[in-house]
Amino acid sequence: MAGGHQGDRRFRAQGPGFAVALLVSVVLLGTVGYATIEHWTLWHAFYTTLLGIMTVDLPPLSPAGQVFTVVLLCAGVGGALYTVTLLATIVVEGGLPKRLQRRREARMLEHITDHFIICGYGRIGSTVAQQFRRQQIPYVVIEHDPERVHAAIDDGALGVEADASREEVLKRVGIERARGLIAVVGTDAENVYTVLTARVLRPDLFIVTRAESDESAAKLKRAGANRVVSPYQLGGTHIAQTAVRPAVVDFVELATSADNLELAMEEIGIAPSSEFANRTILDANMRQRYGVIVVGIQRQDRRMEFNPEPDTRIRSGDKLVVLGRPDSLKRLEGDAGAAGGRR
């Protein structure tokens, strides 16, 4: 710890504050020296000091004044060069650009809305961000590791180096305007704290998190997570399904891939004011109007009805799982009156 404090002191002694103090000291010393030796006014002495530091021709001086000028020039010119060089280095190597970058990020954080907050930028967090970028979904990354924050920024993300479990950090990234939060930080304990904090700030926020074990999954749900995903269980299930039903897996991946321009599977929320509310699938006529297929309906109690019959009634608050072209799904989403409200 002592070595660290000594290093901090050396850094401060060589910083811009020291450089400016050195230059001011030389100017003061020159002013007092000329005023004493040549019996000049302080203004005349100060003016002559600046001329000397800038290596401009000086007025006639006494022998003692000439000796003092030599000393002053050695100290003043050296101090001025050191100060100018240091300040230029700070501006060029990151001082000014970093301040401008922080101001730009602060303005973006103040105006971003309907976005996701990704807490953690490890393997899972970076993959989630990649999917969001492909689908042009706005998001903000919170990560305490500086290297990962830089990686997120290099990938085009709006990154904040901070602890995602702190209230002021979540407020800073606009949790009150966010569409959802994804907690995929280092450990399950950190995820629990992050979920708890987010739930307190936004009781209605949609929160997805990762769990390493069943016990952690239960704690995360009690903490307020809407969805808890186990990467190992999900990965194992996917491998088993790929081995047994590869064609089905290929179809699902094709329908859910953000890169696919021909076919997509999406969920569409039905708003109370939607024209589809309280109408049957047959009356809604989605197949003919939009060219989409209703694969399932998720009711408000999260009960899923697969392959619903034509006379199945669509209710306000339902979520339709539909299959079709991306542009058709966009039009349907707009008519359903739930744009930006998918969960």
**Tens-binned pLDDT, residue by residue, of the chain (343 aa):** 444 444 444 444 455 667 677 778 878 888 888 888 888 888 888 878 877 766 666 677 777 877 777 777 677 666 777 777 776 766 665 555 666 667 777 788 888 999 999 999 999 999 999 999 988 899 999 999 999 999 999 998 999 999 999 999 999 999 999 999 999 998 999 999 999 999 999 999 999 999 988 888 999 999 999 999 998 888 898 899 999 989 888 888 877 776 666 788 889 999 888 889 999 999 999 989 999 999 999 998 889 999 999 999 999 999 999 998 888 888 998 888 744 344 4
Q: Are residues 229 and 265 in the same domain?
A: no
Q: How many domains does the chain have?
A: 3
Q: How many angstroms separate the CA atoms of 255 and 266, rounded?
A: 9
Q: Report if residue 245 sits inside a domain.
A: no
Q: Containing domain of residue 117, as a range?
A: 113-235
Element holding 119 (H helix, E strand): strand 116-119
Q: Are residues 265 and 328 in the same domain?
A: yes
Residue 6 tokens, joined: 């000594």
Domain boundary among 235, 253, 279: 235
Q: Report if residue 255 sits inside a domain.
A: no
Q: Report if residue 329 sits inside a domain.
A: yes
Q: Report if residue 97 sits inside a domain.
A: no
Q: How many angstroms separate the CA atoms of 125 and 103, rounded?
A: 25
Q: Are residues 182 and 85 in the same domain?
A: no
Side-chain-facing half-sphere of 343: CA atoms under 13 Å: 24
